[in-house]
Amino acid sequence: MQRMSQYRYWFAILIFSFPFNLFAQMETDQISLNQLMQFMAKHKEIHATFVESKYIKGIDVPLESSGDLMFMAPSTMVRHTLQPKPEMLKLTGDTMTVERMGKTHSLHINDYPEISLHFEGVRALLAGDAERLNYLYHVDLTGTFLDWKLVLRPLQQDSALKSLNLLGSHDRVNSVEVHLNDGDYSIMQVSRKNTVDD
């Protein structure tokens, strides 16, 4: 009887530890683009805050800005800058709307490929749209489920954008780096707020 009890004890330990061991293994596995897109596509709405630093030649200190970010599937992205000056930028479909100093301007991003390349990579990632990413960029994904890096380099040859680098963990984007061919760059730190589907 004692031997049977010991057998059941060790069997229970093995069964209950197996899922944890499997999860730990998944954390260190190489992540694929398809897996990352599946992670991202499950969220219908994302809210976050951001702090961005822009490094521009000829300016000794970085230009700082901060505010709120929102993404609503499938194609709406909002950047609400609070500091240093209020500004609202909303991208829905092919239309970008900018609200600044009480004035509103709208434009079609297809007419401005430089603007499109800066924002489409982030939007396509959040929407889980691998087809759109591969249409616009050379896509290079490295890392694991716990710590991944997505580097997007425009296929358009004469683009001012050198690369758009997105770093994250699981289904969260933690930072966005924009590198220009002239050497200027920006780094945006993103902190996601809890949402209903988290």
Domain ranges of the chain: 1-30, 31-192
Tokens of 66: 């901060």
Average predicted confidence (pLDDT) for the chain:
86
- For residue 60, the SS3 value is coil
Whole-angstrom CA distances from 128 to 11, 38, 41, 175, 198 are 40, 6, 4, 17, 16
Give the model confidence (pLDDT) of 99-108 as tens digits.
998 899 998 9
Tokens of 32: 């694929």
Residue 20 banded pLDDT, cuts 50, 70, 90: very low
Architecture of domain 31-192: Clam (2.50)
Give the model confidence (pLDDT) of 174-192 as tens digits.
999 999 999 999 999 999 8
First to last CA, the chain: 46
Tokens of 176: 């966005």
**CA-only gyration radius of the chain, Å:** 21
Residue 3 banded pLDDT, cuts 50, 70, 90: low
Answer whether 165's CB lies under 8 Å from 151's CB. Answer: yes
Name the residue with higher pLDDT: 130 or 12. 130
